Amino acid sequence: MITLKKIVKLSSIILFSFLLVILLVFYLSIRQIDTTPYFETDYYSQTLDRVNSNLANRIKAQGKLKAGFAKINITPKIVIGKQNPENGEFNAIRLAGYGDGKFAKGIHDSIFVKSIATEINGTKIIFVSADLLLIPPEIAENVASKLSKISDVKREQLIFGATHTHSSIGNSIPSYVGEKFEGEYNHEVVEWLSKKITEVILKSISDLKESQIADGYIHAPELVGNRIIGEKGRLNDKLTVIKIRQDKGKTAVIGIYAAHATTLGAWNDQFSGDYPGYFQKEMEKKDVDLCMFFAGTVGSHTNKGIGNKFERSKFVGKSLADSVQKISPKLDFTENVNVQFFCSEIEIPELQIIYISDGFRLASSLAKKIIPPIDSVIIQAVKLNDLLWITLPCELSGEYAVDLKNALDLKGINSVITSFNGQYLGYVVPAKYYYYDNYESRLMGWFGPSFGDYLMELNFTIADSLTGFKL
């Protein structure tokens, strides 16, 4: 006979078991934030050994510069009925960058991929930037694979970058996070983009001609702001300009700037290059045949300017182009280039994503299931005469970049750090912001409070070696 006492006892056992399971699941699902100093970790020591070895064996060359330029339109066609991915025709493309972004319904301004190939005494380095949110790993690896079958170009010779427009092609990153910000993964989009990028690289190589190069920079503080703490925050307001002119041919300009390309919000449903697109078009209206834009250290940096929506895009882009015109007459060109080139894989900490509390994040075993796959992670650096260019797989805070820039300025070295080199590790902000309730640190800071300091030590190590200075 079932008595009330037995029912209560059985219910208590069931409830206790249920609570125990919940506690167990919760315990297995979270991990305490790892606050171990990065310089006491295995990933640090292993990476430093590898980086120093690769620095010792870095490529060096000296001689006269050859350069080639190319660009290809990568604006997709949205069609009803049968699509043709080979020709860039798709039924639907999600605009990349915002969690509530729209599907593209039209074209406000065309988007491009551009390439500048350089060669110094047989050493080729190719600079590639696209009007995309970033360069997804799947595309970078696909391009490198295609090139390896038809050319002598290796992955480490490709300096990838993106304008970081939030109004361009999505559907290129697998995983929950990828689909949240880019839409459902579509291999046909990745394959089409990979073919276009491969094509533009080969076209730039075929255009190699004897050339001259110059570089410089100008400050543009009126167009960038600190989006974490506003006016109290430090700014990387440097617009870096690299100009290359063929002796008997065309002229190209590379512009690098740290303001986020977010003048257009999630409301937009048209393809657009945002302000970098306007910048490039404005430059190409003048005395430049090809203009490229690379997103610099866009972490914690937003755009500023007059107007809203596309008027803001136009204002910022045109203002940057005007700044380039101011500095152009002061640039000193040379045909002789001393180049050093470095590439190395690096180790990274365990994932520490999804805010649970100030002391806890989601367990890395679960985190790996929701973010894009992270396989090979590389850092690259190129030194062209007195210009040092470092590429990173993340959105590094411009506050970090200021430290390296200032140190190198004192030594007479122009420096720049660009983002989106073919992998993506989220935002990297100074440790002082790690516990601050902000999108960049709380949602998009994936590797703990000391990851930025770790990357900056690597940056300084690379800079010391390539410049010969102890910074």
Residue 36 predicted with pLDDT over 90: yes
**Residues 162-204: tens digit of each pLDDT:** 999 999 999 999 999 999 999 999 999 999 999 999 999 999 9
**Nearest residue to 76 (alpha-carbon basis) of 208, 7, 169, 205:** 169
What is the rounded CA–CA span in Å between residue 133 and residue 298? 12
Residue 42 predicted with pLDDT over 70: yes
Kindly state the tokens that stand for 88: 């860039």
**DSSP one-letter string for 141-156:** HHHHHHHHHHSS--GG
Residue 31 predicted with pLDDT over 90: no
Cβ count near 55 (within 10 Å): 17
**Residues 63-78: tens digit of each pLDDT:** 999 999 999 999 999 9
Query: CB–CB of 300/258 below 8 Å?
Result: no
Q: What is the DSSP letter of 103?
A: B
**Residues 114-171: tens digit of each pLDDT:** 999 999 999 999 999 999 999 999 999 999 999 999 999 999 999 999 999 999 999 9
Higher pLDDT, 427 or 18: 427
Give the rounded percent of residues in the chain with a pLDDT score beyond 70. Answer: 94
What is the rounded CA–CA span in Å between residue 388 and residue 240? 11
In three state form, how does the secondary structure of 337-391 look? EEEEEEEEECCCCCCCCCEEECCEEECHHHHCCCCCCCCCCEEEEEEECCEEEEE
**Residues 284-297: tens digit of each pLDDT:** 998 899 999 999 99
pLDDT band at 367 (very low <50, low <70, confident <90, very high): confident
Q: What is the pLDDT of residue 403?
A: 96
**Residues 204-236: tens digit of each pLDDT:** 999 999 999 999 999 999 999 999 999 999 999
Residue 26 predicted with pLDDT over 80: no
Distances (CA, A) of 435 to 210, 343, 364: 52, 32, 19
pTM for the whole structure: 0.94
pLDDT band at 364 (very low <50, low <70, confident <90, very high): confident
Q: What is the pLDDT of residue 14?
A: 72
On average, the pLDDT of the chain sits at 94
What is the rounded CA–CA span in Å between residue 181 and residue 394? 16
What is the rounded CA–CA span in Å between residue 216 and residue 332? 9
pLDDT band at 354 (very low <50, low <70, confident <90, very high): confident
Radius of gyration (C-alpha) of the chain in whole angstroms: 24
What is the rounded CA–CA span in Å between residue 50 and residue 46? 6
**Residues 239-295: tens digit of each pLDDT:** 999 999 999 889 999 999 999 999 999 999 999 999 999 999 999 998 899 999 999
**Residue 316, Cβ density class (10 Å: 0-12 exposed, 13-18 middle, ≥19 buried):** buried
102: left (phi over 0), alpha (psi -120 to 50) or beta: beta
φ/ψ of residue 303, rounded to 5: -90, 155
What's the longest Cα–Cα distance across the chain? 102
**Nearest residue to 454 (alpha-carbon basis) of 347, 300, 341:** 347
Q: What is the pLDDT of residue 22?
A: 66
What is the rounded CA–CA span in Å between residue 409 and residue 436? 31
